[in-house]
Amino acid sequence: MKVVGLVGSIRKDSYNQYVANFIKNRYKEEMNLQFLSIKALPFFDQTIEEDQPTVVKDFKKTIKEADAVLIVTPEYNHSVPGILKNSIDWLSRVDRVMIGKPALIVGASTGLLGTVRCQMHLRQIFASPGIAAKVLPGNEVFIGRVQDKLDENGQLVDQPTIDFLDSVIKTFVKFIQDS
C-alpha cells in the first residue's frame, strides 16, 4: 500500500517531521510511506496552471499514483501553514488528483491544543470541490505539547500517543483497503 506523506513544516528538526518519521518506521509493514517535499513547489499561479512546471507535474503524478495521503502538520496562527496550503492549491486545479483519495490528518504543536484549529480548517479545505478527498472520519490525532512526548533523538516515546496512533493507523489501512 503506497501512501504519500506531506509535512506542513520545513523547519530543521521539525517536531511534525519527527512524528511523520515515527509513523513511517513503526507502520512499515502496513504501508509504504514516502514523503514528498513541498518546499520546491513554486507559489501557486493560475497563469501557469495549464502548463505546470515539471516539479508540480511530478508532485501531482506521485500523488495520483498513491493509494492515500497522510498529512502531518503544525498549526500556524490558528490555521494551515501557508506552504501546505500552497501545495493543496496546486492539487486542486486542472488534474484534480485528490478527488476521492483517502487521507489522514495528524498534527503536532507545542501548545496544548495540538493543531485542533488547523485541522478543522484542513477538513473544510479537503471537502472543497477541487480537493474532495476522503478524509478518515473521527480519528483526530492532536499531539499537543509535542516537545514533552519526544526523546532527545526526536523519537516519539509517549505511550498513550503511540497507542492511539496504533489504533488510528489500523483504521486508516482498513479505510484505504475498503476505498
Binding residues vs ligand FNR (CB under 6 A): 9, 11, 14-16, 74-78, 109-111, 113
Q: 93: which 3 cell numbers?
A: 486545479
CB of 142 to ligand FNR, least distance (A): 10
Answer whether 73's CB lies under 8 Å from 80's CB: yes
User: Among all chains, which residue has been given the C-alpha cell 501557486?
Assistant: 44
CB of 78 to ligand FNR, least distance (A): 4
Of 11 and 61, which CB lies nearer to ligand FNR in the complex structure? 11
Closest CA to 114 of 170, 155, 152, 158: 158
In residues, how long is the chain? 179
CB of 171 to ligand FNR, least distance (A): 24
Of 97 and 105, which CB lies nearer to ligand FNR in the complex structure? 105
CB of 75 to ligand FNR, least distance (A): 4
CB of 130 to ligand FNR, least distance (A): 25
Of 92 and 161, which CB lies nearer to ligand FNR in the complex structure? 161
Of 38 and 176, which CB lies nearer to ligand FNR in the complex structure? 38
Q: Cα 167 from chain centroid?
A: 18
Of 73 and 92, which CB lies nearer to ligand FNR in the complex structure? 73
**Strands 102-108 and 68-73, sheet pairing:** parallel
User: Among all chains, which residue has been given the C-alpha cell 496546486?
Assistant: 90
Closest CA to 69 of 8, 138, 156: 8
